[in-house]
Structure 1
Amino acid sequence: MIYFLLYLFIETFVSVEIASAIGPFWTFIEIILSAIVGVYLFINFQYRSNEYLMALARREISFEEFESLSLYTLLGAILLIIPGFFTDILGILLQFNAFAKFFAKKILNLKNRPPKNKGDDDVIDVEIIER
């Protein structure tokens, strides 16, 4: 609940400051344009997800990073659809891989694990003690 109230405070403060600086007409235009961009990114999410899948196949990213990057791209598109300047800023930042990777590693504490070797799945390590 405290995070939601913090979000409301930041969103209100940022929106009032920016809207008073640029005026009502440009605020309306920004809301419409960010919603259009958000819908476009939401519709074309499959192409961005395919890029992440190819990076996963080349072992450039881990599976956890693949999941988080896909999630953050989708979350960024949804945040762009929601009206408000703070959500638009977050939505734009989440579209960049560098920020999404930073968010995934630092905020969520994802660690890069080395990839598993395929041949080691059926190996059982046993110690035999003779008497």
Structure 2
Amino acid sequence: MKQISTSDAPGYLPFLTQGMVSNGLLWAAAIPRDPKTLDIPATFEEQVRLSFRNLAAVLDAAGLTLDSLVKVNVYLADMADWAAFNEIYKEYVNLSLPPMRCAVQIAGLNNGYLIELDVIAEVEES
């Protein structure tokens, strides 16, 4: 296994890993915190975009892009945000080969987050 770390995504707790490569796959998670200030945006849309920017930073640290995504798990504080999430999601994923995805509502996401992501991405074999 190989740990992936970048200062371009939040890494505010020493016992959490931004990403891990194992068996040709990258496992990563993204939260809506600014990587420099650790601030959390107020609106759902800002939190989604920041989560995807943080995710892209972790993927980049592993030499990957959002096009490498195989599976996306979306955790929403309120399923009423599902349609808004879908519109923003289409800005970030490869629509010609979209990753598998599920979205679930989780009451009481940590720190008042309105969204969290976890993903699996394919790592190119060298």
TM over 0.5: no
TM range (shorter): under 0.3
Q: TM-score, normalised by structure 2?
A: 0.25
Higher strand share: 2
- Structure number with higher relative contact order (C-alpha < 8 Å, ≥ 6 residues apart): 2
- Choose between structure 1 and 2: higher helix proportion: 1
Bigger Rg, which one? 1
